[in-house]
Amino acid sequence: MAANKENFDLLEKLENLSIFRLCKFIENHITTNLMEGGIETRPANSNGLWSCILLPTILVLYSLGYNVSLLYKIMACLSVGMLFYCILFSIFLSVSCMVLKDNIYGGCVASSFISAILMYTVLDQELWFSVVYSMLIMHIFSLLLRNALTKFPKTFTIGEAMIVVQGITLFLVMTCFRAYYKIGDKSDEQMEFVYSVNFTILTTVGIIVIALTLMEESERNLKSLSYVVSIAGTYALVMLHMLVGVDCIIKLASYILLDVKKVGLFSIWLLMSIFAGFVIYFRTRIQAKASTVTRKSFHILASVVFLTGIIYDVHLITLAAGFGLGLLIFVETLRKADIDPISPQLQAAFDVYSDEKDVGYFAMTPVYLYVGLACPLILVPVHTGHQLELLSGVLSIGVGDTAASWFGSKYGFNKWSDGHKSLQGTSFNIISQIAVVYVLEMFEIFAVPNGLFKIMFVGTVTGLVEAKTDQIDNLILPLVTVIAFQIVGMFI
């Protein structure tokens, strides 16, 4: 009781600080303005404004601490501009919701100058390149952010929309720069091959999504879908021919089938995917609503795939991650396209496995899960001990969050102050992450300097954030985990 009173007094003192009062003031006014403007965000206790700092922090810290490629540093500079825009956006939104509805570009210009100055002075890029691309990218970011909040009601909180749009914008810039400007780390030829294939896959899916979006509802049918897929498939073959070579299909097949380890991993992943598909199919047939623990079982399956891939073949799991992301986006597009009989069946499966957070236009929770597991593959550069950081998504949401959900639902008798999650669940979250790393090191599956000490700190940070945040765990926790690894790496 005394400890709880001390914690309450500490929180009360923090809330009395001017910076916390200012943040709370902005938060309250944003919520009021959103309601008055008829803007519906995903139901949550807060807008999650703090989330916008996560992705830029990761990129900047890695750019400062490690020998990363020029492309990575450009992404870091652009992310700083996006962070500055998010701060201005939050301030403007606390004054009026008109920033969401009118084409107000003042914040874009100011944010563009921040990125342009960094690229010109720090990275020694040409002035025209820095200014033009900073302006263009910041306007794209602004447009996507406003559309995410206005066109797709109840899908994102403000913070979640900021992270998602930051990620989409930076990913598009990265793929375009890598493909057309040949900027990137060219020392790893195998990874360059993987990036070329993934670029082709994702742009092909993008063509399908755009085509189906532009169609009238009356035009969406199986025949139209077959035409669109045929055109997109032709584009994919042309792109592979240009990026990989004339024998692109042979190279791709040889890359997977001529290596025993790759064949073994691919076979295991394929069997697990088929098993998951059958489970979803039969549960949809009987229309049995999935519980939280049931949904978490898919976290485990996905985590095993990424865990084995990261440990045994990073290149192959990166290739598989690109294919899986494209497939996931394609399936979600079909669900929303109203194409009989595909869309109704996908909607039925969604109704069975959706949770209380999936109330918006898109099914974001499974997308967040997949992206959360895969994002360290892009964000974490190669350095000593980076294997543990690549497992940030697996440890935080595949292991910790799943363990907290299962253990807390059974033995969570003592709740946190908000009354939602339990102390027992949080404790098991932390312990499970430490235990997994301990087992991996004990069996010499991989060895990271001071890995056990690092995960003790990181697991504690992740567990506490999972217990207190009302933003979607699958999106937030992997980014928090990567930052925690970066911080502890400065001292250990």
Q: Looking at the domain assignment, is residue 90 inside a domain?
A: yes
Lowest mean pLDDT among 95-99, 356-360, 431-435, 472-476: 356-360
Are 389 and 482 a contacting pair, CB within 8 Å? yes
pTM here is: 0.92
Are 252 and 244 a contacting pair, CB within 8 Å? yes
Q: Looking at the domain assignment, is residue 167 inside a domain?
A: yes
Kindly report the backbone phi and psi dihedral angles of residue 422, in degrees, each rounded to the nearest multiple of 5, phi listed first.
Answer: -105, 155
Q: Looking at the domain assignment, is residue 269 inside a domain?
A: no
* Count of domains forming the chain: 1
Query: Does 347 score more than 80 pLDDT?
Result: yes
Distance CA 462, CA 372 (A): 14
Q: Looking at the domain assignment, is residue 386 inside a domain?
A: no
Q: Looking at the domain assignment, is residue 126 inside a domain?
A: yes
* pLDDT per position as a tens digit, 398-419: 999 999 988 888 887 888 876 6
Burial class (CB in 10 A: 0-12, 13-18, 19+), 187: exposed
Distance CA 281, CA 346 (A): 10
Burial class (CB in 10 A: 0-12, 13-18, 19+), 408: buried
Q: Which helix (H) or strand (E) holds 240?
A: helix 222-243
Q: Look up the domain containing 77 and give its range.
A: 37-184
Q: Which residue has tokens 């969406």? A: 220
At residue 365 the predicted structure's pLDDT band, cuts being 50, 70 and 90, is confident
Q: Looking at the domain assignment, is residue 46 inside a domain?
A: yes
If you average pLDDT over every residue of the chain, what do you get? 87
More confident residue, 288 or 109: 109
**DSSP of 61-80:** HHHHHS---HHHHHHHHHHH
Query: Does 452 score more than 70 pLDDT?
Result: yes
SS (H, E, C) 119-151: HHHCCCCCHHHHHHHHHHHHHHHHHHHHHHHHH
The first and second tokens of residue 226, run together, are: 């077959």
At residue 185 the predicted structure's pLDDT band, cuts being 50, 70 and 90, is low
- Residues 21-50 have a mean pLDDT of 85
At residue 286 the predicted structure's pLDDT band, cuts being 50, 70 and 90, is confident
Distance CA 276, CA 351 (A): 16
Q: Looking at the domain assignment, is residue 177 inside a domain?
A: yes
Are 463 and 397 a contacting pair, CB within 8 Å? no
Query: Does 431 score more than 70 pLDDT?
Result: yes
Q: Looking at the domain assignment, is residue 264 inside a domain?
A: no
Question: What's the confidence (pLDDT) of residue 371?
Answer: 94
